[in-house]
Structure 1
Amino acid sequence: MALSTNERKKRIRRRIRKVSSGTADRPRLSIFRSNSEIYAQVIDDTQGTTLVAVSSRDKDLAKEKGTKTEISKVVGKAIAEKCKKAGIDKVAFDRGGNLYHGRVKSLAEGAREAGLNF
């Protein structure tokens, strides 16, 4: 019997988290994508703290108009700018069980364009 979408996503998430963890030198950029919004946070797993967080629901980003993919690119640029202010230039990318396609890919491209390395 084939896996359901949620089971497949959980399996991928576990596989990614097995090899990807955030340190103080290279924190983890974690992506969560809901049906209508997208969230990104930079996490130091050794301390268990969130260093920087941005979402499409933030007040300054909620005014953005466009498709969900275009808004994801803006969120990627915003997370990269906040990381630069916090002194973070390298991150480990964690797509959270989502396929690297569409909004997740757009967010990653936006972050790379703004100067974040992963």
Structure 2
Amino acid sequence: MSDKKISRLRRAKKTRYKIRELGVDRLSINRTPRHIYAQIISADGSKVLATASTLDKDLRAGATGNVEAAGKVGAMIAERAKAAGITKVAFDRSGFKYHGRVKALADAARENGLEF
């Protein structure tokens, strides 16, 4: 693995440890050059409660690797979380910088009712 990826995973591990101490559901994201994925994982880490990504049929039609698509994923994950009865989560950015697509997803999720 590259040094860049090792550093990102180290940051992610620290964040996940802190979230586990809090004992709340977490909104975990993963970012690739083409797509962005979001999952809400239970507090104990055993279940995925809601999921959304640019691979969903609704979002595949347009560009999937840009800020607009990330915003749509954020809105979609917030709607699915509400449907599952989840309003409060901890944001797990998986070691990625809070910038660009990650920020767009987080802002859209907040605007659509998720609290973190």
State TM-score, norm by structure 1. Answer: 0.88
2:5 corresponds to:
6
In structure 1, list runs of 5 or more residues that go unmatched.
none
Structure 2 residue identity aligned to 1:27: D
Offset at 1:4?
2.0
1:33 corresponds to:
31
73-82 or 41-50, which moves further after superposition? 41-50
Residues 9-33 of structure 1 show CA distances to partners (whole Å, capped at 9, x for unaligned) of 011111111101385xx31100000
The secondary structure found in structure 2 opposite 1:116 is coil
Alignment RMSD? 1.8
- What number of residue pairs does the alignment pair up? 114
Aligned positions of 1:1-118 closer than 5 A:
4-21=3-20, 23=23, 26-46=24-44, 48-65=46-63, 68-118=66-116
Taking a change above 3 Å as real, the CA distance of residues 58 and 18 of structure 1, as seen in their structure-2 partners, is same
Taking a change above 3 Å as real, the CA distance of residues 11 and 66 of structure 1, as seen in their structure-2 partners, is closer
The secondary structure found in structure 2 opposite 1:53 is strand
State TM-score, norm by structure 2. Answer: 0.90
Offset at 1:65?
4.5
In structure 2, list runs of 5 or more residues that go unmatched.
none
**Distance in 2 between residues matched to 1:47 and 1:112, nearest whole Å:** 22
**Distance in 2 between residues matched to 1:10 and 1:81, nearest whole Å:** 29
The secondary structure found in structure 1 opposite 2:59 is helix
Between the two proteins, what is the percent identity of the paired residues? 43
Taking a change above 3 Å as real, the CA distance of residues 46 and 113 of structure 1, as seen in their structure-2 partners, is same
